[in-house]
Amino acid sequence: MDAKPPKYYPACAVKAAAALSYDQALMSAPQVCASGKHGAAKKLREIARRFGVPVVNKPELAHELCELSENSPIPPSLYREVAHILVKTGKDK
């Protein structure tokens, strides 16, 4: 199966950042594909900006996402907030 590369939607804060991947055809929910705190968070935001990936300032969400394992789907409790980001950035297609 040829899958399209996932799109990334970081939710960033000063000390935490997480990147999300979501492909409706392949996933039941968005997944955390990268996360980091402190220096790693800063690097993740720099990479996102360099590649034109939307960076959304949501500190509480970023910290919650950093607690999840990479490649794990987000829990249902975060669906609403993540959906809002996908709609806001226009990257939900």
Q: So where are the chain's domains?
A: 11-89
**Which tokens is 54 given?**
């939307």
Question: Which fold does the domain 11-89 belong to in CATH?
Answer: name from scop (3.40.1690)
**Residue-level pLDDT at 92:** 46
Extended beta strands in the chain, E state:
11-12, 16-21, 31-37, 56-57, 72-73
Is the pTM higher than 0.85? Answer: no
Coil, strand, or helix at residue 68?
coil
What are the pLDDT digits (tens) for 39-87? 999 899 899 889 888 888 888 899 999 999 989 899 999 999 998 888 8
Where does the pLDDT of residue 8 fall: very low under 50, low under 70, confident under 90, or very high at 90 and above?
low
